[in-house]
Structure 1
């Protein structure tokens, strides 16, 4: 049990003693959550448990907090202080830090893993871009954040499946077919009016050219409806393959690729509408079928089957979410673009209407990405084909920088992506700064090997309490908080917290490296400092792995 878990257990035991002593009533007391204070003077850990307990305990939170403090007598606890309206700040004895460092070294690459999720089954659906063209930088943010969230939740003990919803039905596929058809005819010298809702990107011309190269003019003799059907399938296959290639290049993989078509072809959309009709949540009006979404908090009812009998996008989305919950997920997380914000309420209304708990659907909204170079905004436009694609961005700044920059800001804030900074090899570039810390540690061990100096074979034989410099203590304290950082970031669905943590840890390491000599000092101290930097290297590598960023040994 790590120190965080020990402290949570101690708080729980102290609260139980206070209840037994009649200081306050038990009620339904909340979960004990520890936070790491932003400033050292507020201790190593803090909790607002007393404030959260006040209503159930029917007592002033300061009274509850003091009662808990009075009943704490852990040998590893220096002191606990009451603060503000009922916070408790905890200060650990220095000895516990060396135990923490020893546990980090013993855990190795498993350090940071927590059981926060308790095996909860979670599905994360992200990117899900229409397979009608290349991925652009907005999709890139969703891909980076989504895959990092999957890694983070897995590190925190959740059972996670990553899913891509392929929008391979509906108007966008008809528009793809019509666009490829127009370009195909143009390439063969035919005059044709380009479809009003067609896709203008260079990739459509390339697709048509590949069809010409492989099949020549054989499709000219085919009736247009048949030709469009053929081009729809050829276009979908090619675009989907390109999407998968771009995502793999970006370090993003999915456990499931779910086809929207299967919902229509299997009858799932019709069956879902029948279910909602049978329980009174769909009604007919003006020849169409409407979801009674206002009964579940939406601002108006929504059409699910048009008066021509064609299902709306919402109808397929309702069937899709029914399928998700039928698969037994405890929690479903969707990562959507900012333009989908207004769509949340109607989907949640449909989930409630089907008898599921809409609170088990979480929707994370990604704000827009703006690219800057030389201080100037880089314009993006899907329709003109002048948009910056994800593959172009990766080529420009590299996969690691692109992923880190997409992840390092909270999803609810707009992201200004500085291309020049992302490419720079300087301490101002956060991903370079972190990776350089990892590489610097690797270089220490190369220097040891080159000089023929021995490295301890077993860290448990190293005297760690010789590490008393403030820079050393700061590093140990920071690493000791890594499991809680993973747990908190997972609970908050906030992978950007791991990016921030890694940057702060790297900064502490660089300070230590500049202040504390490692090679050539007293052998006992040298061994202890090698143990310390090994732990730092492990923690940085684990942080970067969650973010999907490489931890190089050389730079």
Structure 2
């Protein structure tokens, strides 16, 4: 019985108790919360539902709790239910009910942990979207890992997810990039507002190699050639780096297409027609302050050029017009103002602003010998995704980025994440999976199989801890999706690995040499197999490999 199953049982029991006394069942919460007590001596689970509803139905909390505990104790799934304090109910599951969790994992396999909370919801998940003016830096690397993991978690919760990369190929930054390439090709210093670094020299040389005539072109044609080929080569490198990192996209959306297709003009005209765009001081302004923004925004500047927000407005419209129900943007710390801006744009266009979510990721710092490595994209000292992968490997790089909330800044200790020790979180989790695979291989050599195991034999304290931890996985996945926090899955994997290691140290899983296998060995082997499955499922949701040998 998983926590979700227990929650349902308690709710049904409470409905029966209240109905039997002609009391209002609508006072009950939609979902009864069950939690693991801090002190395991108090039971397997606890609930405060009696405290929540007693006053609403005119009863003393402890009196109501006693009635619920007595009714729960009558269930075959419950070994005991006892009242504690002012009305808490401490619950111990029957051995068979705990064993049912193991059976459920083994039955559902790779789908264990999935849910239908977002069944059929069409989600547009936009992340990374780095300008094609340089390699992916650490901030973009964080979104590459977290965004991909969030997509996996949402899909595991039933959503139809479109992973999208917004390809910024329109505007001044691309001009500065192409100016830098031209200067590099001519052997001139980097322009004051340009981009430096070896990658600029490399791309400039590749453009010249591909188009040997480029240096003989007129300045405008030369600029356009370096722009077109340079952006193409830089973005090809970005896509390759992301692919090797395990992050791929369904859609690469070109910003420039919004202008070329007339989407920007159509969105602007729609806003003019519905009165949400007005003219003042020679410019056209969005009435964004009417929709929660701190001020109105210039959309068409007084010189007639579109402001950057014009593309954002057209892009919001395009996402919803493609049939998405929810649009999630994952942006860097310097984009905090975009939250109200994008929601205001959606509302002004007639879409529900609640269906626009903006997640803001904080900075990433790389530590070497305890000191922060400084980075400056234009100075050419940027620390890139490729640098991080080379230093600590793909799995460690992804896991290090995912395991912390994006709301907080992140320090990556190269020595820690490159180490093969239990101090390295990803190594610790992967080692747990590899150890479980080793147990399975040894069991096969001994001819021991978990098939037909009597799971009610799993009554050891460490067995119970492990089973209950397995049972929490579906709730963890569901919460990670609902809260947009895939780090919950990574932290759960660490908890599960730790719980397994403690079980392994306390419980003999396989018979010793010369011993005959017993039903308990078979049951513990089934528990080990279930644990391996859930660890693999969790690692899969964060996009990290589950090695069979280490």
Asked if the contact 2:289/2:296 (under 8 Å) is kept, the reply is: yes
Asked if the contact 2:8/2:32 (under 8 Å) is kept, the reply is: no
The residue aligned with 1:31 is: 30
Asked if the contact 1:32/1:49 (under 8 Å) is kept, the reply is: no
Q: Structure 1 stretches of 5 or more lacking a match?
A: 187-191
Corresponding position: 1:111 with 2:112: yes
Asked if the contact 2:299/2:309 (under 8 Å) is kept, the reply is: yes
Q: Which stretch shows the higher mean deviation, 515-524 or 224-233?
A: 515-524
Shift of the alpha carbon at 1:37?
Answer: 3.2
Shift of the alpha carbon at 1:22?
Answer: 4.2
Shift of the alpha carbon at 1:420?
Answer: 0.5
Distance 1:242 1:65 in 2: 65
Distance 1:84 1:248 in 2: 55
The residue aligned with 2:473 is: 482
The residue aligned with 1:395 is: 390
Distance 2:374 2:286 in 1: 39
The residue aligned with 2:542 is: 547
Describe the shift of the 1:252–1:546 C-alpha distance in structure 2 as closer, same or farther (beyond 3 A): same
Corresponding position: 1:313 with 2:308: yes
The residue aligned with 1:384 is: 379
Describe the shift of the 1:123–1:82 C-alpha distance in structure 2 as closer, same or farther (beyond 3 A): farther
The residue aligned with 1:372 is: 367
Describe the shift of the 1:277–1:71 C-alpha distance in structure 2 as closer, same or farther (beyond 3 A): farther
1:518 aligned residue (509, 515, 522): 509
The residue aligned with 2:447 is: 454
Q: Structure 2 stretches of 5 or more lacking a match?
A: none
Asked if the contact 2:123/2:325 (under 8 Å) is kept, the reply is: yes
1:445 aligned residue (440, 445, 450): 440
Aligned pairs (5 A) from 1:248-327:
248-327=243-322
Shift of the alpha carbon at 1:493?
Answer: 1.2
Describe the shift of the 1:311–1:443 C-alpha distance in structure 2 as closer, same or farther (beyond 3 A): same
Shift of the alpha carbon at 1:48?
Answer: 6.6
Distance 1:422 1:223 in 2: 51
Distance 2:100 2:171 in 1: 60
Q: TM-score, normalised by structure 2?
A: 0.91
Distance 2:86 2:315 in 1: 46
Describe the shift of the 1:144–1:49 C-alpha distance in structure 2 as closer, same or farther (beyond 3 A): farther
Q: Deviations over 1:338-357 (max 9, x none)?
A: 11112211111111111111
Describe the shift of the 1:304–1:91 C-alpha distance in structure 2 as closer, same or farther (beyond 3 A): farther
Shift of the alpha carbon at 1:386?
Answer: 0.8
Shift of the alpha carbon at 1:237?
Answer: 0.8
Shift of the alpha carbon at 1:513?
Answer: 1.8
The residue aligned with 1:144 is: 145
SS of residue paired to 2:148: helix
The residue aligned with 2:175 is: 174
Shift of the alpha carbon at 1:47?
Answer: 5.8
Distance 1:424 1:515 in 2: 27
Distance 2:547 2:474 in 1: 23
Shift of the alpha carbon at 1:337?
Answer: 0.8
Shift of the alpha carbon at 1:24?
Answer: 2.9
The residue aligned with 2:100 is: 99
Distance 1:135 1:60 in 2: 61
The residue aligned with 1:6 is: 5
Describe the shift of the 1:84–1:287 C-alpha distance in structure 2 as closer, same or farther (beyond 3 A): farther
Describe the shift of the 1:59–1:268 C-alpha distance in structure 2 as closer, same or farther (beyond 3 A): farther
Q: Deviations over 1:35-63 (max 9, x none)?
A: 543625465455676788799x6879959
The residue aligned with 2:460 is: 469
Asked if the contact 2:37/2:46 (under 8 Å) is kept, the reply is: no
SS of residue paired to 1:396: helix
Q: TM-score, normalised by structure 1?
A: 0.91
Distance 1:179 1:138 in 2: 23
Corresponding position: 1:205 with 2:201: yes
Distance 1:270 1:89 in 2: 63
SS of residue paired to 1:416: strand
2:221 aligned residue (210, 216, 226): 226
The residue aligned with 1:502 is: 493
SS of residue paired to 1:241: helix
SS of residue paired to 2:508: coil
Describe the shift of the 1:49–1:465 C-alpha distance in structure 2 as closer, same or farther (beyond 3 A): closer
Distance 1:362 1:390 in 2: 26
Distance 1:326 1:50 in 2: 47
SS of residue paired to 2:336: helix
Distance 2:86 2:251 in 1: 48
RMSD: 2.6
The residue aligned with 1:120 is: 121
The residue aligned with 2:404 is: 409
SS of residue paired to 1:523: coil
The residue aligned with 1:189 is: none
Describe the shift of the 1:82–1:371 C-alpha distance in structure 2 as closer, same or farther (beyond 3 A): farther
Describe the shift of the 1:281–1:89 C-alpha distance in structure 2 as closer, same or farther (beyond 3 A): farther
Distance 1:304 1:461 in 2: 68
SS of residue paired to 1:257: strand
Q: Deviations over 1:70-99 (max 9, x none)?
A: 765533134556778987665422320111
Shift of the alpha carbon at 1:13?
Answer: 3.2
Shift of the alpha carbon at 1:448?
Answer: 3.9
Corresponding position: 1:134 with 2:135: yes
Q: Deviations over 1:425-472 (max 9, x none)?
A: 1111111011111111222233345xx41032xx45112222232212
Asked if the contact 1:126/1:336 (under 8 Å) is kept, the reply is: yes
Distance 1:437 1:332 in 2: 37
Asked if the contact 1:143/1:252 (under 8 Å) is kept, the reply is: yes
Asked if the contact 1:409/1:496 (under 8 Å) is kept, the reply is: yes
Aligned pairs (5 A) from 1:231-242:
231-242=226-237
Asked if the contact 1:163/1:254 (under 8 Å) is kept, the reply is: yes
Describe the shift of the 1:219–1:31 C-alpha distance in structure 2 as closer, same or farther (beyond 3 A): same
Q: Which stretch shows the higher mean deviation, 106-115 or 383-392?
A: 106-115
